[in-house]
Amino acid sequence: MILLAGALAQTTLTLDGTVTEGGSEFVLVPFDVPAGTAEIAVSHASLTGSVLDWGLSGPDGAMHGWGGGNGEDAWITATAASRSYLPGVEVGTWNVVIGKARLEQADNPYTLSVTLHETAVHTDAQPREPWAEPAPIEVGARWYAGDFHVHSRESGDAAATFDQIADLARERGLDFVVITDHNTTSTLDLLVDAQRRNPDVLFVPGMEYTTYHGHMNAIGNTALLDHRLGVGDATVDRAIDDVHGVGGLVSINHPELDLGGLCIGCAWEHDVDTASLDGVEIQTGGLLPVGGLFSDASIAFWESMTSASHMPAALGGSDDHKAGIDLGFQGSPIGDPTTLVWAESLSVQGILDGVRAGRTVVKLQGPADPMVELVATDVGFEATVTGTASFVRFVVDGEPQVLEPVTSDPFTHAITLQPMGQVVRAEALIGGDRHTVTSHVLNARAIPPEEEGKCGCAATVPSAPWALLSRR
């Protein structure tokens, strides 16, 4: 960011006020932007121990950026903006949007000023280009390794640059990362140049749709989603529809991460149609240092969303906000955990198609965990483990089956099952700890025409040896 010198005409509006308990979770503070305004600058602060979130909406009512709890001043010009915000200065009535993240008392005063400049005083050297899907980095069907939950500095609570993210992903052997900044699409126009600088690591656009009652991953999303539930017609269901409308996918992030005020709204509380979910984040951060405390509950949540008619993909994400730098005792770097996606190419569409088809395997700690590949056979399934593991087992309709010791590398374990519509997955353990989990497969195989009707179990046979490649 560059601050331009010179005496410039400006108007400053003082909009101090008080946020009170009760009512809507969001307060809108209006101000008018007249013709001839080249820059909007906003300064704000909470005057108590309460946590307030901050953003801007434009004259059309749509969000123009969301800094969350970031205390930095925000600014917008016609062609640039501070982090988390979108360029563009439109004439009309704007609103500073204040979110009641955590109120410590009944009355919560804040300071707020808006300065309208006739000549822009800020500029930004970051190259911005309208996002368009880049060409595939690699063409060919294989397992591609990635991280589905990574924040850049476009999130108000994050610090990582795109180059730092790519460097760490590359170091850890990942092929792609999904950039999931909080409630903003400001990332999009910056990804084009970032991808050009890092041609070997795929940046998949996304957003973490962050509410005070749960966080949702919008994978491949390019739509401006409204998280202000209760304001206008904003609902979670509408956000899901908007993501699907642009070809993106929806997953629930850290559904059982209930840390109270330490992680505001992190546990999932919304009631949504499970059929609208494309995935569930079954592991947030690696098993170590603390992610393993929530693994069982998250996997149980995923199982509860799963049925023979709908099987959301298993996903994992680090939730890294700093590209592995100074993460603290509870943070996990990019790649912890790692999600493998069987895709036809290393491309945005290829990764989305793989997840949509449920072709995923999650290494709960990270890249070094064993791999498990699930195969349909004529009589059931085989799970082949490569890498270091102690045990492998199948899970049928949510019920773990017998643990089979892994005695070689690779090692194959088989199960015989009558095709009765069960949902089946496999997992590998190191010692007594689960380390690798596959997505579910529906146990339904074709019956020869001459046997049709004899057992009532006719279905379609997987068209490839990988059951995960044809689960729907």
Q: pLDDT by residue (tens digit) across 140-191?
A: 999 999 999 999 999 999 999 999 999 999 999 999 999 999 999 999 999 9
Q: Structural domain boundaries of the chain?
A: 2-123, 127-368, 370-472
Cα distance between residue 434 and residue 255, in whole Å: 19
Cβ-contact 284, 319 below 8 angstroms: yes
Q: What is the CATH topology of the domain spanning 370-472?
A: Immunoglobulin-like (2.60.40)
Task: Read off φ and ψ for residue 163, nearest 5 degrees.
Answer: -65, -40
Q: What is the pLDDT of residues 372-423, one digit of tens each?
A: 999 999 999 999 999 999 999 999 999 999 999 999 999 999 999 998 999 9
Res. 452 pLDDT band, cuts 50 70 90: very low
CATH class of 127-368: alpha beta
Give Cβ neighbours of residue 130 (< 8 Å, ≥ 6 apart).
Answer: 188, 189, 192
Distances (CA, A) of 355 to 6, 208, 352: 53, 17, 5
Give Cβ neighbours of residue 196 (< 8 Å, ≥ 6 apart).
Answer: none
Cβ-contact 257, 226 below 8 angstroms: no
Cα distance between residue 465 and residue 375, in whole Å: 6
Res. 8 pLDDT band, cuts 50 70 90: low
> Which pair of tokens denotes residue 190?
């910056």
Which secondary-structure segment (H or E) carries 165?
A: helix 162-171
Q: What does the DSSP assignment read for 108-159?
A: EEEEEEEEEESS--EE--S------PPPPSEEEEEEEEEEEEE--TTSTT--
pTM greater than 0.85 (yes/no): yes
How does DSSP classify residue 261? G
Checking if the pLDDT of 463 tops 60, the result is: no
Which secondary-structure segment (H or E) carries 205?
A: strand 202-211
What average pLDDT does the segment 27-49 reach?
97
Give Cβ neighbours of residue 95 (< 8 Å, ≥ 6 apart).
Answer: 28, 29, 30, 31, 56, 57
Q: What does the DSSP assignment read for 212-253?
A: TTEEEEEET--S-----TTSTT--HHHHHHHHHHTT-EEEE-
Pick the CATH number of 2-123 from 3.40.50.360, 2.60.120.380, 3.50.30.10, 3.30.360.10: 2.60.120.380
In this prediction, residue 259 carries a pLDDT of 84
Domain 2-123 identical in fold to domain 127-368: no
> Which pair of tokens denotes residue 381?
């399934």
Q: How many helices (H) and strands (E) does the chain have?
A: 5, 29
